Amino acid sequence: MLKISNLEKRYGKNEPVLKGLDLTVDGSSVVSIVGASGAGKSTLLRCINRLVEPTSGRIQLNGLDLVDLRGAELRRARRKIGMVFQGFNLIDRLTVMENVLSGRLGYVSLYRAITRKYPQSDIDRAFHLMERVGIDHYANKRADQLSGGERQRVAVVRALMQEPEILLADEPTASLDPKTSQQIMSLLQALASEMDLPVLINIHNVTQARMYTDRIVGMRHGQMIFDGGPKDFNQDALDAIYGGIESPDEQGQTIETAPAAEGASV
Amino acid sequence: MGEEKDMVDMTAHTQERTWSRYSRQERLTRFAVYAITLFAIVWAVRDIDIFWPWVWDAPNQIQSLAVRMWPLDFSGWMAIGSALMETVHIATLSTFLTAFIALPVSYIAAQNTTPNKVTLWIGRLILVSSRSVNTIIWALLFVAIFGPGVLAGILAVMFRSIGFIGKLMGEAIEEIDKKPVEAMQATGASKLKVVAYAIVPQVMPAFFAIIILRWDINIRESTVLGLVGAGGIGVLLQGSIDTFAWQTVATILLAIIVLVILGEAITSVLRKKVI
């Protein structure tokens, strides 16, 4: 269970990006976080694995306080938090297998990491997961030779290699074409239930948020202003979140049954 | 009616407006720069005290030197060959050894990897001091310490190369894509593992390109080391000049040119393979 309470983040002396945010995620629910650019979605996710230092507040993952961890303790906690990025963040010049195995860096020794002598169990797990998402035949290809959707699958597998207790996805589909982005979303949804894994997804595409997630959290100016199921997420909620800002997805309202139209919002 | 009025206004405005590329301030600055440059050149020419009769005599001297150099004397080709080999060995060994020293230096001299401010300044100090002293001056220093010979030459080339390789590698490290770094940190990897996975693969091509380039430069630098007694073909050259063996001097110069062209050819092929 992830429990965030009264989380605040400010960069320097500027207006806080997150203003006393509370959020609890339990079980294997897939939660999408929607909001305009600059609402603080990315900062929120990065506070959880401390790629960004929170200014104040508490973040607990399965009872472990994350905010005060230092050094080796922090690294041990990060192993349990998988993360998927908008730009995939793969190491282009390494092979797919090396990229996948890098998810185990928190577990193996420096010697094993440098010499690529990973334990057989890690290699088995890597092949198993790559087969699951359909990229096992690319094991020895360089990561930069894959298409966008395949690269994001590599990134997902890398995150799952960590044996995470939660998966964070920061706009995982924003760099992908509409069809591929749907595939990645349904993959994340399926993996969450298969592995009993809570998943937090920052997403711009409101239609996809409705289709693939169990719960939608709406953010605006660093505060949570909506929290509910996809069915509760109506025009009022959309206006509240994007009000005054041209919603990137308003067309999706009327044609949400035609998924091909989603591309317009990406 | 309104249109007409606008047009009248427009012409009225045009007459009032003036335009020039530079403001008064800029014109003054430009004039000052010209004046200072001119002054520096005049001062330098007046101050360096050239003995002009020798300059006017130069064509005669060139002709006379050319006559004394011709025909080339190939009788010492064995000695020249082995001195050339020694030159290449100095370049190769010093480049190879420098790689190991320059890498840690570049690591602490790059802003995004250096452990703290102190190490950053230590790194930069090493690079600057290495780069600000010319190879031949390093050689003079090491000949004084270790005596004449190849060892002084190797150390001299190394000390100059550390700054070159270290600076370029430091820049390569600073220019990496930071996204993989973020991803590796998110897996819970320690700093060294992040370096090994997110940074090393990204700077590998730059590293080989820089090493090859420096090897090429070091061959050329090694050819003059002998002038101060630090080994290589330069020793032979200096000896031949001292004994007025101009035919041998010409042969050695030719050999050096051939060597440098060969080095250039090899490195350009290697560089293409790396990139």
pLDDT of residue A15: 86
Interface of A with B in 210-249 (CB under 8 A): none
Residue of A nearest to B198 (CA): A91
- Which of B183, B189, B196 shows the shortest C-beta gap to A89? B183
The answer to the question of residue B139 being in a domain is: yes
A12 and A51, same domain (yes or no): yes
H-type helices in chain B, by residue range? Answer: 2-16, 24-47, 52-69, 77-109, 117-132, 135-146, 150-174, 179-186, 191-194, 200-225, 233-242, 246-274
Domain limits for position A152? 88-163
The answer to the question of residue B111 being in a domain is: yes
Nearest CA-CA partner of A244 in A45, A21, A38: A38
pLDDT of residue A251: 45
Distance CA A178, CA A266 (A): 7
Count of beta carbons in the 10 Å neighbourhood of residue B148:
17
Domain limits for position B162? 73-274
Which of B179, B185, B187, B199 has the highest number of chain A CBs within 10 A, making it the mutation to test binding with A? Answer: B187
pLDDT of residue A250: 45
pLDDT of residue A246: 52
- Which of B179, B190, B201 shows the shortest C-beta gap to A94? B201
pLDDT tens digits, one per residue of A98-122: 999 999 999 999 999 999 999 999 9
pLDDT of residue B1: 45
Confirm if A138 and A128 have CB atoms less than 8 A apart. Answer: no
Please check whether residue B190 touches A, CB under 8 A. Answer: yes
- Residue B15, pLDDT above cutoff 80: no
3-state secondary structure of B189: coil
Please check whether residue B92 touches A, CB under 8 A. Answer: no
- Report the range of poorest mean pLDDT among A32-36, A231-235, B41-45, B271-275: B271-275
- Which of B182, B188, B202 shows the shortest C-beta gap to A105? B188
pLDDT tens digits, one per residue of B86-114: 999 999 999 999 999 999 999 999 999 99
A9 and A41, same domain (yes or no): yes
Q: Looking at A112, A140, A163, which one is the last position of a domain?
A: A163
Is this complex's ipTM strictly greater than 0.90?
Answer: no
Nearest CA-CA distance, residue A105 and chain B, Å: 5
Beginning with the edge strand found earlier in the chain, give each strand of the sheet holding A56-61 in spatial order: A18-25, A2-9, A56-61, A64-65
Nearest CA-CA partner of B159 in B94, B244, B66, B72: B94
- A264 band by pLDDT with thresholds 50, 70 and 90: very low
Residue A12 sits in a domain whose CATH number is 3.40.50.300
With tokens 């005669």, the residue in question is B60
- Residue B229, pLDDT above cutoff 80: yes
CB contact under 8 A, B193 and A105: yes
A259 and A189, same domain (yes or no): yes
A169 and A259, same domain (yes or no): yes
Side-chain-side CA neighbours of residue B258 (13 Å): 11
* Mean pLDDT for the stretch of residues B124-147: 94
Which of A43, A51, A91 has the highest number of chain B CBs within 10 A, making it the mutation to test binding with B? Answer: A91
Residues of chain A in contact with residue B185, where contact means CB-CB under 8 angstroms, are: 51, 78
CA distances A38 to A207, A213, A242, Å, are 20, 22, 11
- Residue B82, pLDDT above cutoff 70: yes
Q: Looking at A120, A139, A163, which one is the last position of a domain?
A: A163
- Which of B179, B184, B190 shows the shortest C-beta gap to A102? B184
Q: What is the mean pLDDT of chain B?
A: 90
- Residue A89, pLDDT above cutoff 70: yes
The answer to the question of residue B54 being in a domain is: no
Confirm if B204 and B169 have CB atoms less than 8 A apart. Answer: no
A62 and A172, same domain (yes or no): yes
- Residue A198, pLDDT above cutoff 90: yes
Strand partners, A219: A224
Nearest CA-CA partner of A4 in A16, A22, A27: A22
The answer to the question of residue B68 being in a domain is: no
Distance CA A105, CA B261 (A): 47
Please check whether residue B179 touches A, CB under 8 A. Answer: yes
The answer to the question of residue B257 being in a domain is: yes
pLDDT tens digits, one per residue of A225-249: 899 898 888 888 888 888 765 545 4
pLDDT of residue B119: 96
Residue of B nearest to A164 (CA): B187
Distance CA A214, CA A231 (A): 10
Pairing assessment for the beta strands A199-202 and A223-228 based on DSSP bridges: unpaired
A94 and A51, same domain (yes or no): no
DSSP label at A263? G
- Residue A167, pLDDT above cutoff 90: yes
Nearest CA-CA distance, residue B275 and chain A, Å: 13
Confirm if A162 and A104 have CB atoms less than 8 A apart. Answer: yes
- Which of A90, A103, A110 shows the shortest C-beta gap to B187? A103
Residue A90's contacts (CB-CB under 8 Å, 6 or more residues apart) are A99, A143, A144, A151, A154, A155, A158, B180, B183
A127 and A47, same domain (yes or no): no
- Residue A252, pLDDT above cutoff 60: no
pLDDT tens digits, one per residue of A72-82: 999 999 999 99
User: Residue A169, by phi and psi: left (phi above 0), alpha (psi -120 to 50) or beta?
Assistant: beta
The answer to the question of residue B169 being in a domain is: yes
Strand partners, A7: A21
- Which of B179, B188, B196 shows the shortest C-beta gap to A85? B179
Residue B113 sits in a domain whose CATH number is 1.10.3720.10
Tally of domains within chain B? 1
DSSP label at B228? G
Residues of chain B in contact with residue A89, where contact means CB-CB under 8 angstroms, are: 179-180, 182-183
- Which of A51, A82, A113 shows the shortest C-beta gap to B185? A51
The answer to the question of residue B49 being in a domain is: no
Q: Output the DSSP codes for A128-170.
A: HHHHHHT-GGGTTSBGGGS-HHHHHHHHHHHHHHT--SEEEEE
Tally of domains within chain A? 2
CB contact under 8 A, B189 and A103: no
Position A187, amino acid? L
A146 and A193, same domain (yes or no): no
A140 and A179, same domain (yes or no): no
Q: Looking at A163, A191, A210, which one is the last position of a domain?
A: A163
Please check whether residue B186 touches A, CB under 8 A. Answer: yes
A185 and A218, same domain (yes or no): yes
A131 and A103, same domain (yes or no): yes
pLDDT of residue B13: 57
Distance CA A77, CA A72 (A): 9
pLDDT of residue A197: 92
CB contact under 8 A, B201 and A75: no
CB contact under 8 A, A89 and B204: no
A58 and A102, same domain (yes or no): no
